[in-house]
A and B are shown apart, each in its own frame.
Chain A
């Protein structure tokens, strides 16, 4: 159950110091009754996750920030439509995804697509960490993030939803309105592509004893 992961409330904020007595359904119920404090708590709890989704889709810190805000506004407006029998986080991700995909589409109209298939990608040269990578804690995380950037948007998305956000394949298939088999094989290709990309990018120091 990803909803119940302890990691959810851990973060740099003071929220992590408080006992985690509310689960999402409590907070949502309070939000529906107009409890602003519950909404604030919910934002705090989801902030890191929503920002991560936006960052993985948009791969730009400022864009991700704007998108994450838009996502929260949309969540707030639609909170009354949440159904108790559906996993809340999957719902959050569905809304997040739709907004990010829309934004990505608008961005790609403005600037030509920049995603390069792995086979054609130039060999990585000495690289400085990009601004968005500075939010990521370890060198390994930054490496993986960078490798994700070499994937096609489609492949990156399936890694994001399945491996990073840990949705079920059925949920992803539903979200993308695609057959489960298609999603499964896309996931396999994406994982393989990512593993290859990481090995190509791996800084030599990584293998130190």
Chain B
């Protein structure tokens, strides 16, 4: 280290923070060089003694002014103009207070450094996970629905697709353990074995089963079901032929004659 380097390092030595290596190098030079050791002694004089004196007075009177100074440091560091007078007093305090002037330097540095932290690339890109989670089923289904519903009605395969959906609905209605209609196909089958086949063709059996299984309070369900199945049947007639049509006509019949009110409660629970 030469004298020039010592001089440029002097400020750090006096105001810190300073690394042990740097400190050792500076002190070593001051120990071996008379002019630099004088410089160091001089540099330490004006900074320390008045501060100590003022601090002594402050300690016996108002206490250190740093607490008040600190409140304005962030604005001061960001070059926000403080109220008249405050600015000058704070600048004067900073000339003498290493803690506060160090904080100002740190605040300035942070203001420059912090925006860099706004972007942190994850070690493994999130992209694959995000795409897996955003593009599959629920969202994609909704997107598909809003995008294709208007055109799909005109598509050639639409009817059979709709028929498939309708079949699902029917499975749910009749197959669900909570559905009150669950018992109906079984009862119908029972009746088919005992009654004549001709009756089956005319859906008398189904209607009878419906009367037994469906209570009056299910009328509303039947009504809405009738409407939807009717329209489904109309759409699917060409594609799946008779099955849905038959079910639809059964619903039509069921609608024509409201289900009998005889003993509905005893049958529902079975």
Whether a CB of chain B sits under 8 angstroms from the CB of A170 is no
B117-A52 in contact (CB<8A): yes
Stretch at the interface among A20-28, A70-78, A106-114: A70-78
Whether a CB of chain A sits under 8 angstroms from the CB of B82 is no
Residues of chain B from 102 to 160 with CB closer than 8 A to chain A in the complex: 102-103, 106-107, 110-111, 113-123, 125-127, 129-131, 133-135, 139, 143, 147
Determine the main DSSP class of B at the interface with A. helix
Q: Which of B20, B22, B71 contacts A209 (CB 8 A)?
A: B22
A199-B17, A204-B20, A207-B19 known; A159 vs B114 contact (CB < 8 Å): yes
- Measured CA separation A64–B120 after assembly (Å): 11
B18-A207 in contact (CB<8A): yes
Whether a CB of chain A sits under 8 angstroms from the CB of B75 is yes
- Measured CA separation A77–B143 after assembly (Å): 10
CB-CB under 8 A from B143, the residues of chain A are 34
A140-B113, A195-B110 known; A207 vs B17 contact (CB < 8 Å): yes
A163-B114, A202-B17 known; A43 vs B130 contact (CB < 8 Å): yes
- Measured CA separation A135–B111 after assembly (Å): 21
Whether a CB of chain B sits under 8 angstroms from the CB of A84 is no
CB-CB under 8 A from A68, the residues of chain B are 122, 126
Residues of chain B from 7 to 23 with CB closer than 8 A to chain A in the complex: 8-9, 12, 16-22
- Measured CA separation A73–B133 after assembly (Å): 7
CB-CB under 8 A from B9, the residues of chain A are 209
Q: Which of A51, A61, A140, A191 contacts B107 (CB 8 A)?
A: A191
- Measured CA separation A61–B5 after assembly (Å): 43
Q: Which of A51, A199, A205, A209 contacts B106 (CB 8 A)?
A: A199
With a 10 A CB-CB cut-off, give which of B5, B74, B127 has the most chain A CB atoms. B74
Nearest CB in chain B: distance from A34 CB, A: 6
Nearest CB in chain A: distance from B43 CB, A: 17
What band does the interface of chain A fall in when counting residues whose beta carbon is under 8 Å from B? 35 or more
Q: Which of A43, A69, A77, A206 contacts B17 (CB 8 A)?
A: A206
Whether a CB of chain A sits under 8 angstroms from the CB of B36 is no
Nearest CB in chain A: distance from B148 CB, A: 10
CB-CB under 8 A from B118, the residues of chain A are 7, 49, 52, 164-166
Residue of B nearest to A145 (CB): B117
Nearest CB in chain B: distance from A130 CB, A: 13
Q: Which residues of B contact A (CB under 8 A)?
A: 5, 8-9, 12, 16-22, 70-71, 73-75, 102-103, 106-107, 110-111, 113-123, 125-127, 129-131, 133-135, 139, 143, 147
